[in-house]
Amino acid sequence: MPTIADLDTPTILIDIDRVEANLQRAQAHADTEGYALRPHTKTHKLPQFAKRQIELGAKGITVQKLGEAEVMADGGIDDIFLPYNIVGEKKLSRLKALNERITLAVTADSPDTISGYARTSTTGKPLTVLVECDTGAGRCGVQTQAQALARQIEIAPGLRFGGLMTYPPKHGVAEANAWFETALELFKQAGITVPTITAGNSPDMWAPGGGPVTERRPGTYIYYDRMQVRDKVASFDDCALTVLATVVSRPTATRVVIDAGSKSLAYDPVAGDLSLGHGLVMGTELVVKSLSEEHGVIEMPVASDWPRVGERLRIIPNHVCVVSNLFDTVTLISGDEIRDSLPVASRGRTD
Amino acid sequence: MPTIADLDTPTILIDIDRVEANLQRAQAHADTEGYALRPHTKTHKLPQFAKRQIELGAKGITVQKLGEAEVMADGGIDDIFLPYNIVGEKKLSRLKALNERITLAVTADSPDTISGYARTSTTGKPLTVLVECDTGAGRCGVQTQAQALARQIEIAPGLRFGGLMTYPPKHGVAEANAWFETALELFKQAGITVPTITAGNSPDMWAPGGGPVTERRPGTYIYYDRMQVRDKVASFDDCALTVLATVVSRPTATRVVIDAGSKSLAYDPVAGDLSLGHGLVMGTELVVKSLSEEHGVIEMPVASDWPRVGERLRIIPNHVCVVSNLFDTVTLISGDEIRDSLPVASRGRTD
């Protein structure tokens, strides 16, 4: 059986035992707490893992871009939520074609976006549209006009109102719940049924159930990373994705240079603080202090012969979702043994 | 003739007229100032542009990883410098195979790395090895042992000492020159000839010639970006690579959300300062203030109807080299007309 010693570097390793444990634990929480789980697959971009998430009980999957949805549909996934405003004639044609193939839902936060959907939809198979709501995160979403948009969707031939969606503020479960409670009251007065309220992110994935939210969309929990550990969602022992790197230079007794830089680990900081570095050396407290494109620099706290040139280190990235997007393939491992190699199917599908 | 209005977003646009002007201006500087230009192709990753750089007078090209070198050799480039410590048996086998096909040089900054080269080289076609020197940047490179490593290379069968290489500190031309002047004196006393001294980066590309450095390796100058403009190397009117994005949301009168996030623009900050944002809207002073993976948020200084949902903006990235690495293809344009579409040949070849 080949092992990770047989791999060239830098490369992504996925510990499938940790993946399975992470998926099961999240699904068990959803089942116990009584919400539907619709995992965000932007993190792994792999139809194989999406299928496993559904097998374990997920209602369907979430993707962030239409290109990702197309790849996941090609990979056999037939229930996809795309919480994004799809804009422009080319994309609307692609959206219509995809809606004819699978169970699909999108979002809108403006009359213009809904008009685009209405223009390209057919009454044969209505397109499900949820209204995106800004419950405090300050990105996309309406702050007060959810009802008017829902009405616009309801009366458009070829569209179906699917409910309300938010990308909630981090640690803002109470804030989002309060927003939705108020909205539900207004919708009730207006006589509009809200089939689904979908929210959720990995940082707040362990929040108890109950409340107005019926569906959650965490993504990072399949692999976890330094950001999630910092948010106390998981421990480093749960982190399933590492970047295998080789020490290529020991210029001083305290400086270690590895062959993974910003083109392998990405520059995304933890907690917005670049001084926290760009990855943790697995099994140690050593941090990748600085990155250039193809070099990562680790400063040792004291002079040390270890690690020597040629030794390999596994790095837990700050943000796994962007790291998945940098590599064409990932290697699945169990312990040190290689079990499979998969193309990152929707890598680069930002379109 | 199709125009950029026909493209889906986000996507990379390359203004070929600006590229040509940028390449010609840099080559003219090299010719006038009397140094050899060996452009770093990590920026564009396109054999077509590498060939044009050589046609205009470049001595050869630079790449940062062996995988990139293999792609460039496949693309018809036959003189490649790889300023990197190549470590590990798999890579050394690939290096040997590549050295048999083209004119190739690599670097080393440790006895271990040189031993690896010696072990896998043949006397039939020696491998050229330059010693990497730390002239102040504090990444890889020897600080004092250049001579000893040069001697190790000289006496190894199958290796040839190619000279000295540095990745200099930014705005550290005088520092690097002083380092090399001292080194050259010591090499002279030891009777070791130094065929090439190679340095240089885009931030200092307009420094005058003369001094010990015989070859420079700027890369970003083909496209330029916000970092280079901030370093006063070029103006925004020289920037040849933009990311075409669509406005997907106008949640408030001052907030604009585009469909390019960190998976299209990368998170790399300008001058290490995240508060400077993640890209400039071409032709304006508007900055992409914050990024999530698939959203970029622009804050307007005053309430404005423009830009509306569906309008397109072109974003000048902070750091083009990492942006090239995020997309599978680039579109070549002249004015607004599309001239060609090219696969980013060595994208993702961090190995």
* Residue of A9, A11, A256, A263 for testing the chain B interface, max B β-carbons within 10 Å: A263
pLDDT of residue B121: 84
Half-sphere exposure of B343 (CA within 13 A, CB side): 7
pLDDT in tens, B297-316: 999 999 999 999 999 999 99
pLDDT of residue B200: 84
Asked if B220 has any chain A CB less than 8 Å from its own CB, the reply is: no
Give the residue from chain A lying closest to B290, CA to CA: A139
Give the residue from chain A lying closest to B114, CA to CA: A309
- How many H helices and E strands in chain A? 10, 17
Asked if B30 has any chain A CB less than 8 Å from its own CB, the reply is: no
| DSSP summary character for residue A268 | P
Measured between beta carbons, which residues in chain B are less than 8 angstroms from residue A142? 251
pLDDT at B123 over 80: no
Query: What predicted TM-score, i.e. pTM, was given to this entire model?
Result: 0.97
CB pairs under 8 A between A and B: 172
Integer Cα distance of A244 and A242 in angstroms: 6
**Pairing assessment for the beta strands B79-85 and B61-62 based on DSSP bridges:** parallel
Which residues 130-189 of A have a C-beta within 8 angstroms of B? Answer: 132, 134, 138-143
pLDDT in tens, B255-296: 999 999 999 999 999 999 999 999 999 999 999 999 999 999
| 8 Å CB contact of B88 and A246 | yes
Ranges in chain A, pLDDT < 50: none
* Residue of A217, A248, A258 for testing the chain B interface, max B β-carbons within 10 Å: A248
CATH number of B4-10+227-343: 2.40.37.20
pLDDT of residue A199: 96
Measured between beta carbons, which residues in chain B are less than 8 angstroms from residue A65? 259, 294
pLDDT of residue B228: 97
Tell me which residue in A110, A116, A140 faces B295 most closely, judged by beta carbons.
A140
- CA dihedral angle for residue A228, residue A222, residue B245, residue B303, rounded to 10 degrees: -40
pLDDT of residue B293: 97
Contact predicate B243/B282, CB 8 Å: no
| 8 Å CB contact of A272 and B268 | no
Q: Across residues B7-28, what is the average pLDDT?
A: 98
From the CA of A156, how many Å to the nearest CA of chain B?
A: 19
| 8 Å CB contact of B90 and A8 | yes
pLDDT at B253 over 80: yes
* Residue of B4, B71, B85 for testing the chain A interface, max A β-carbons within 10 Å: B85
Q: Across residues B157-168, what is the average pLDDT?
A: 96
Measured between beta carbons, which residues in chain A are less than 8 angstroms from residue B65? 259, 294
| 8 Å CB contact of A351 and B110 | no
pLDDT of residue A50: 98
Alpha carbon separation from A106 to A81, A82, A96, A330 (Å, rounded): 6, 5, 11, 29
Asked if A249 has any chain B CB less than 8 Å from its own CB, the reply is: yes
Can you give the residue ranges of every domain in chain A? Answer: 4-10+227-343, 17-222
Q: With the C-alpha atoms ordered B1, B4, B8, B12, is the resulting torsion angle positive or negative?
A: positive
Integer Cα distance of A306 and A308 in angstroms: 5
Contact predicate A267/A293, CB 8 Å: no
Asked if B251 has any chain A CB less than 8 Å from its own CB, the reply is: yes
Report the amino acid identity of residue A55: E
- From the list A2, A1, A9, A4, the residue with the least C-alpha distance to A310 is A9
| 8 Å CB contact of B251 and A350 | no
Measured between beta carbons, which residues in chain B are less than 8 angstroms from residue A318? none
From the CA of B256, how many Å to the nearest CA of chain A?
A: 9
pLDDT of residue B95: 97
- B119 pLDDT band (50/70/90 cuts)? very high
Tell me which residue in A10, A113, A308 faces B309 most closely, judged by beta carbons.
A113
Give the residue from chain A lying closest to B116, CA to CA: A310
Half-sphere exposure of B213 (CA within 13 A, CB side): 32
The CATH architecture annotation of domain A17-222 reads Alpha-Beta Barrel (3.20)
From the CA of B276, how many Å to the nearest CA of chain A?
A: 13
